[in-house]
Structure 1
Amino acid sequence: MDTRTNAILTVLLREYGFTHRSLADEVNRISGRIFGRPGAATDRDVRRWTSGSVRWPTGRYLLPLAEIFDRPPEAMGFVPRGRTSRLPVPPAPARPGQEEPVKRRAFLTASTAASVALVLRLEETPVRGRLTGADIDRVTAAVGRLDAHFTAIGGGALLTVATAYIGRLRDAVDGCIYGPRVEQALHRALSGLYSTAGWAAYDSGDGTTSRLHHAAALQSGILAKDGYAQARAWSDLSLQTRAEGRHREALTINRAALESRQVRQSPRIAALLHSRLAIGHARTGDHGACARSLLAAEKAHDRFDTTAPPPPWLRFLDAAEIAGLAAIAHRATGRLPDAERATAQALVLLGPSMHRSKAYYGVQLAELQLAQGDTASARTTAAKVVTTAVSSPRIAQRLATVHHKLAAA
């Protein structure tokens, strides 16, 4: 039996300051709240999780672990195995006089989507009555968990879940009572949720749905009067437009986003937009502008405030991602050796929980090696790409294309 060590969970224990015993105690406490009776996890169970001898804990322990570390099971290093990956439905206390919302039942139409929804606890948002700041805090945390899920393993079932949650939040907008601040916060949350749904659609290869969600994200950002949400939406729209082959339009959108005051005040957003602008310049053949934008992205990265945590949707943007985006720009200019070096650097710098990015840049490295005629290296690289913990049809298709070309080489 394969008992490969769960290095990701080991890192999480150290990062959060848990011992085996203290994590077991916390799992038992949260299990008691979710299921109505305390769990029976021991330090021995935790050692079995970290050693890899148990690769997918029971739902009674998996749900508390997902809450403790604020991420889906795959992003904690666990590996699903067929039906054992299905999570139980935790008992939820009924609100007096409130029927079970149709939106919640919609989460349970597919086992994978149901697992994601249950782990992220999206059904807790009320759709009737008065919304308070505490409700908004829970909504914001849920949207952040969705962002973390995408960053870790990709879109996949996330599109179904995010779309259902969009419907739930829109029901809350129409059916609840709230003040002006809560209203703005609701639209801000919707903007972020639409952005995540747009990326999930993109990962699934559905460009039309992706564009609709990104446009809705911009509209919600405007209603929220939130410049950061609008900058995010503009940035995502520029990428979607570029994916559709409209490179000059994408450049115009990207420039508009860079002109906002919020971007000038946020080095992280500026670094992302300058990196994407570099790719746009490369695709239109302006190599000098591409180089200037890459330099601007590096300078913005140097100004990152490492003492303050970034918003959930920007946690993926680090030195590894900056290198990976630079590689895409180099590739578009035809500088394949530079693109290969930058992609290899991104893979070295990526953290252990970044399954989607590791798979994405692993495929990109194999593509670059293949394009340069180095089939031996491409074959070795492609064989190392791990997609068991990744939910991205787009990445899977690219990897399949690489293997097909290698087989014909």
Structure 2
Amino acid sequence: MSRQRNTKLEALLTEFGFTHAQLADKVNETAEDMFGKPTQCTDRHVRRWVAGEVQWPWVRYLLPLQEILGRSPEAMGFVPRKSSRVPAPPRRPATAKEQRPVRRREFMAVGLAAVLGLDTIPDAGRLGTGDVERIRAIVPALYTHDHALGGGALHEVAAQALRRVHQALNHCTYGERVERALYAATGDLAASAGWFAYDAGRQEDATALYNEALQAGMLARDGMLQARVWSNLAMQARLLDRDQEAVRIGRAAVETRQAKADPWLMALLHCRQAVGYARVGDRVRAERCLARAETTYERTEGEPAAWLSFLTPAELTGLAGAAHQALGRHKRAQELTATALDMLEPRFERNRVYYTLQRAQALLDGGDVEHAADEAGKAAALAARVHSDRLRGRLTGLRQQMRRYASSVPEAAQFVEQTRQTGV
């Protein structure tokens, strides 16, 4: 039989951004989750599949490929023999599942790439307003999963979508009006990809994506987009303990004309500035920003942009708790954070972990070690549901503090042991 190149698989590698070696590594990781042990897949196997030398891979490779790429064997370009069949995947060994509590969510995100409609974005010809709308639709689709999955599960698929949009920008033609809309849509996607990378703990990637979003915002003359990116850069600066820089960047966001015209965005910016001022010890400005956030939020109406969908009264209350915690008002911080948790909708799984950790920290800093350990234990259990290295870092820091009390407080010892077993 003459050998025919597997162009379908080759296109999928491009779509998902895999090199031959990266796909082989992913097959091994997925197989270990499915079978309890890795396969010995190498880049040579992938080259042979693409070249058409192997028309129907062994099941130990085929099942992981289906899981990773979200396609049937035939849709991946493989040609079945008469005796070929794809058996049901084996039951996962419990130990493998425990060791990889978030991998299933990573696979869900990979499957999401198949339904974002990226293949409908042309890479040649002329782009019109319909194409711009398809690009704009990517961000709301991603954010429907972000609150539950976390950025660690979404940053790769967002980056993949951005690469596809870059192909359209660089290889298609379009008029001046469409060009401006394209830059705005691309900047929106880049800012979102930056947020996912930030949440995933990939700060260099996040910075690069935020810079790209800022540039796109300037080209599109989109002040709202620029204010959003400034705000996210301020959050990143705080994460990296550059608090004065965070305040200065946040001020740039607050002072944009477009932000002042949007109560949703301005309420968030005031809340984040309140936390920033509190962290540098400026109590007066922190309290002033909290008051402004509350009055501004009262003026909101309709639905916010997709990336602002998390901004609810629970979020404002939780951020107020963060500001009071930074000011050393631990009892007030604990009360506000408890209220935020009571108000928080079930769909905000990652934020529930975040504020449960915040409450535990407030309790611990206030001297209530026993209840802090109980709350930290809840956060550790919840953290298995989302993939956020940012939250895992906070959980690790809390564990290190709790170890000081493990010899004298049974609840602290229990939390330390619980997190030791889960690898935090």
TM-score normalised by the chain length of structure 1 = 0.70
Q: Which residue, 239, 246, 261 being the options, matches 2:242?
A: 246
- Structure 2 residue aligned with 1:64: none
CA deviation after TM superposition for structure 1 residue 154, in Å: 1.3
Give secondary structure in 2 for the equivalent of 1:136: helix
Contact 2:320 2:336 in 1 (8 A): yes
Q: 1:268 to 1:393 in 2, by over 3 A?
A: same
The 1-side partners of 2:370 and 2:68 are apart by: 39
- Structure 2 residue aligned with 1:369: 363
The 2-side partners of 1:383 and 1:267 are apart by: 37
Q: Which amino acid aligns with 2:336?
A: A
- Structure 2 residue aligned with 1:325: 319
Q: Deviations over 1:34-81 (max 9, x none)?
A: xxxxxxxxxxxxxxxxxxxxxxxxxxxxxxxxxxxxxxxxxxxxxxxx
- Structure 2 residue aligned with 1:98: none
Q: Which amino acid aligns with 2:70?
A: P
Identity %: 40
The 1-side partners of 2:241 and 2:374 are apart by: 31
1:216 aligns with 2:239: no
Contact 1:343 1:361 in 2 (8 A): yes
Q: Deviations over 1:270-302 (max 9, x none)?
A: 101111111121122111111001100011111
CA deviation after TM superposition for structure 1 residue 242, in Å: 2.5
The 2-side partners of 1:292 and 1:112 are apart by: 42
Structure 1, unpaired ranges of 5+: 1-81, 95-109
Q: Deviations over 1:342-369 (max 9, x none)?
A: 1111111111111111111111111221
Contact 2:70 2:110 in 1 (8 A): no
- Structure 1 residue aligned with 2:277: 281
Runs of 4+ aligned residues of structure 1 deviating over 6 Å after TM superposition are 82-87
Please, which moves more after superposition, 334-343 or 175-184?
175-184
Contact 2:283 2:327 in 1 (8 A): yes
Q: Deviations over 1:126-184 (max 9, x none)?
A: 22222222222121111221233223331013111111221111111011122222212
Q: Which amino acid aligns with 1:89?
A: R
CA deviation after TM superposition for structure 1 residue 207, in Å: 2.0
User: RMSD of the alignment, in Å?
Assistant: 2.5
The 2-side partners of 1:212 and 1:375 are apart by: 40
Contact 1:222 1:230 in 2 (8 A): yes
Contact 1:362 1:381 in 2 (8 A): yes
Give secondary structure in 2 for the equivalent of 1:120: coil
- Structure 1 residue aligned with 2:289: 293
1:128 aligns with 2:124: yes
CA deviation after TM superposition for structure 1 residue 218, in Å: 0.9
The 2-side partners of 1:382 and 1:203 are apart by: 20
Q: Which residue, 247, 257, 261 being the options, matches 1:261?
A: 257
1:23-172 equivalences under 5 Å are 88-89=70-71, 111=107, 113-172=109-168
Q: 1:279 to 1:355 in 2, by over 3 A?
A: same
Q: 1:85 to 1:376 in 2, by over 3 A?
A: farther
Contact 1:86 1:112 in 2 (8 A): no
Based on CA coordinates, which of the two structures has the bigger radius of gyration? 2
Q: Which amino acid aligns with 1:339?
A: A
